[in-house]
Amino acid sequence: MQTETSVPDYLTDDFSMYLENMNSLSDPENPDLLTNYLSNLFEQLKQMPLLFNGMIDQLAMAISSKIRIDSKNLAELELKEEPSWAEIKPFVGVHADARGCVTEIMTHAEQDLKTAVLLIHFYNRYDATPLKAEEDEYSQVDNDEYNDYDENY
């Protein structure tokens, strides 16, 4: 059975862009495309930690392979209202080669970093399987007055 993970309102726009970017780079015929892109993005970020200031989806992509989120425990927090960085920071681990860069972002763009971490968290829990459509009460109408279309037209 599918569980529905809903993205909070304060993340919907950024999440939509992040999801679209991640999906567009996930190519079964070229499985290294996404990995290489994310690696190149991080190298740019490492050179200039505030490069993606205000571009949350790009920041999230750049750090996605360099942080580890304890999503199981983070999911226990109430995230419908935007949490503070202090509330989610304990659930975030940073790879050794990214600590300097992430610390710089945390110092100068904490809000962007927090939002990027939340995007990654929700993306990791996102199930793209379409939900079963609710049955339309009129879809089962089998009445000649509704079926008067000329099939030979």
Given CA atoms 76, 81, 82, 87 in this order, what sign does their dihedral have?
negative
Tell me the per-residue pLDDT of 44-56, one tens digit each, with 9 for 90 and over.
999 999 999 999 9
139 neighbors 146 (Cβ within 8 angstroms):
no
Per-residue model confidence (pLDDT) at position 152: 54
129-147 confidence digits (pLDDT tens): 554 555 555 555 555 554 5
| pLDDT < 50 stretches in the chain | 1-4, 131, 146, 149, 153
pLDDT at 1 (0 to 100): 33
Separation between Cα atoms, residue 128 and residue 126, nearest integer Å:
6
Q: H-type helices in the chain, by residue range? A: 12-25, 32-47, 56-63, 71-74, 85-88, 99-108, 110-125
pLDDT value, residue 28: 85
Q: Is the CB of residue 2 less than 8 Å from the CB of residue 129?
A: yes
Domain regions of the chain by residue span: 9-125
In the DSSP assignment, the letter for residue 53 is T
The pLDDT of residue 27 = 86
